[in-house]
Every structure is written in C-alpha cells, then in structure tokens.
Amino acid sequence: MCPVGEVIGVERLKEAMGDWLGKLAPWDVFSTWTFSRPVTLNGAMYWGRRHIQWLEKTAGQPIYAFVGAERGDRGGLLHLHGLVGNVGHLKPYCGTRQEPGTWGLKCCMLHAWPAGIARVLPYDPARGAAYYVGRYISKRLAEWELFGFPAVPQNPLDFGKNGGIN
C-alpha cells in the first residue's frame, strides 16, 4: 500500500535486530554463506546447521550462533548470514586464494563452508552487530535460528569491557 513506509519498516526492523544481536552475546565472526546451486529455505538452514556442528567440532568446545537466511535479488537465490561465538581461536581466512569452485577445506572458516562461496569477517565489537546487519543484510531475513543458547562465552570479561552485558 505504501512502499516508502515498507522500506522504513524493514530498516527499523534491521536496526532493532542489529541492536538485539549486539547485546545477545560477544561474537567472533560475521559470515556470509552462499550456495553454488539453488536450495530451498529448509535446505539452506539444514546446511547452516550442519556447518555450525562442524565448526563446533573443530572449535573443540561449545559454540553459539545466529544464522539467518536471505533471498537474493536475482532469481531469489538464498544465502545465509551468520554470527558465531567461541570460535575466536579459529582462523577466519587463511590468506590463500583457492581455485574457483573449491570449498569444504579445513584451512580456515572461509574455505570450510561446503556449499559455495563464503565470506568470513572478524567481528568488531566497537562497530557492533548493527553495523554488519545494516551493511550486509539487504532486506528482511526469510528465517533465522539461534544455536547454543544460553551462550557461555569463552571470555565473558572481555564482553563486559566492550559495553555488553555485565
């Protein structure tokens, strides 16, 4: 009915989601996980869950995560966005460029994503989750899930210093 109002609504929703996520837990990385072939929403979330399990196994300790699915512009291709905590000791990116179409490796969190191209950025608490949500999530998420909550952060004292929960 009112497209402008709708856009503002989504922006407000994203802002609120970013603020909420920023206060929810101390995060280590922000990831974008894409798919090399079309998947359903259920399929995308399945791969997300599977990857969180792999990350947890690799981390050697309980981790926690937020995973949201978003539809792309062209053809509605789905991709995932994730915030993950308790993986601060794992490498986000190994620094090596891989051949196109190479994924599911063990060198780093970026190349470990098994279903397509990924991007893994170290989380900057000074910027907060709202920055990542605002910059990398272009519209409303189709679906999202939390894993490993209530979170037990590795370094809860660090989080207090950054202005989070005490």
User: Least distance to Zn ion from the beta carbon of 83, Å?
Assistant: 20
User: Least distance to Zn ion from the beta carbon of 75, Å?
Assistant: 28
Residue closer to Zn ion (CB basis): 25 or 120: 120
Residue closer to Zn ion (CB basis): 108 or 137: 108
Closest CA to 124 of 108, 138, 135: 135
User: Least distance to Zn ion from the beta carbon of 107, Å?
Assistant: 3
- Binding residues (CB under 5 A) for Zn ion: these are 94, 107-108, 111
Closest CA to 24 of 125, 121, 117, 120: 125
Which residues is 41 bridged to in the sheet?
none
Residue closer to Zn ion (CB basis): 16 or 107: 107
* Percent helix, strand and coil across the chain, each to the nearest 5: 35, 20, 45
Q: Number of H helices and number of E strands within the chain? A: 5, 5
User: Least distance to Zn ion from the beta carbon of 94, Å?
Assistant: 3
Residue closer to Zn ion (CB basis): 3 or 95: 95
Other CB atoms within 10 Å distance of the CB of residue 162: 12
